[in-house]
Amino acid sequence: MGLYYEFFAGGGMARAGLGPGWSCLFANDIDPKKASTYAQNWGAENLKVEDVSNLKSSDLPGTADLAWASFPCQDLSLAGSGAGLSGKRSGTFWPFWNLITDLSKEGRAPPIIVLENVRGALTSHDGKDFTAIGSKISHTGYRFGALVIDAVHFVPQSRPRLFIVAIDENYPIPNQLTEHRPQEITFYKTLRKAFTRLPSDVAGKWVWWKLPLPSGRNTLLSDIIEDEPKAVEWNSFEYTQKILSLMSPINLEKVEKAKRARSRRIGTIYKRTRPDGKGGKIQRAEIRFDDIAGCLRTPAGGSSRQTIMVVEDGMIRTRLLSPREAARLMGLPDDYQLPCKYNDAYHLAGDGVVVPVVRHLSEQILESLLAVVMSNQEEAA
């Protein structure tokens, strides 16, 4: 069984994805609300609620095989502040890596490391932030590579995320885990460009990971939408008309097409600020009817919360996505305990990592790397 540390743990979605083949030695998050949910679902025995910058290597028990870190994305996101790794939130990568460096000096650094973030981390500050991350990883003695995996292959949510997988350079990498060029399904051009920006000494530590995709997703958005949701109510007729009034002719035509269909149609709506054609800005409601939800976000404002529209027999109803529906879009089971307050539950989901994506990454790459690590350790003993 592999042992791991889980940093920026949130509600423990990485833990849910890694599964029973891994055992958590230590989990950390700064947010007491998320930590409370983590404790509800996984127990608090190995959980420390603290700013990562206040942690010391002495806080980390034993020797882990894996360190998982889904560090904050807000400053690296295309919709964020643009502060990048200099930002207060995404900049928490640095104290996290300082812990890895300290563990390395003590001879107990995890041989496998996974960093998870938005794909904007590849292009932030013209790629300088990604280069800085890669330089830290390689100079600490790891080989590494990156994958961009869209959760839409696993759940009905469009959610591309960056996964950087690193392994101690002293361990061999099985040939079946690598290839000579990035896969088309992992955002080839973006990854290739990020790679070409790396200094030669860092690029020399690069690995093109091979990750086969699952045969096909068998869940649609309509499968997870509740007729009688908890924690949310259906909007009034007047409010639904207000949403429709924010739509462009193209989006209104999508609604009309759904009304003409003979089957029940479910769409998802985000409010966005768009140019008004007169040099100003206007708020628009944009809808999709492809049975896939837009990427969940943290509910910083009303525009960040996803609205669903149900069109049936010519009638239109709208409401916010419910917390349980949001959790299902993250691949969490229905027995997963969510916070009682709407915003807390939605924030937990929108800030997490999709469980089946973690499971797939573990099955296809991490468990094979773990087998190499454990075999080498046994031979050394």
- Over residues 231-247, the pLDDT tens digits come to 999 999 999 999 999 99
Which candidate, 321, 260, 256, 332, places its Cα nearest to that of 292?
Answer: 321
Domains of the chain: 2-214+353-380 (3.40.50.150), 221-349 (3.90.120)
> What's the CA gap between 176 and 17, in Å, rounded?
22
The pLDDT of residue 91: 77
pLDDT band at 381 (very low <50, low <70, confident <90, very high): low
The Cα–Cα gap between 292 and 248 comes to 20
Collapse the DSSP code of 126 into the 3-class scheme (helix H, G, I; strand E, B; otherwise coil) and give the result. Answer: helix
**pLDDT band, very low/low/confident/very high, at 223 (cuts 50, 70, 90):** very high
Residues 220/267, Cβ–Cβ less than 8 Å = no
Q: How far is CA 217 from the centre of its chain?
A: 18
Inter-residue contact 285 to 294 (CB < 8 Å): no
- Read off the pTM: 0.94
Residue 313's SS3 state is: coil
Determine the average pLDDT of the residues in 22-49. Answer: 97
Q: What is the pLDDT of residues 242-265, one digit of tens each?
A: 999 999 999 999 999 999 998 999
Whole-number average pLDDT of the chain = 92
Which two structure tokens, joined as six digits, stand for 287? Answer: 């809808």
**What CA–CA distance (Å, rounded) separates 293 from 131?**
32
Q: What is the pLDDT of residues 155-207, one digit of tens each?
A: 999 999 999 999 999 999 999 999 987 766 666 788 899 999 999 999 999 99
Question: For the residues 221-229, what does the mean pLDDT come to?
Answer: 93
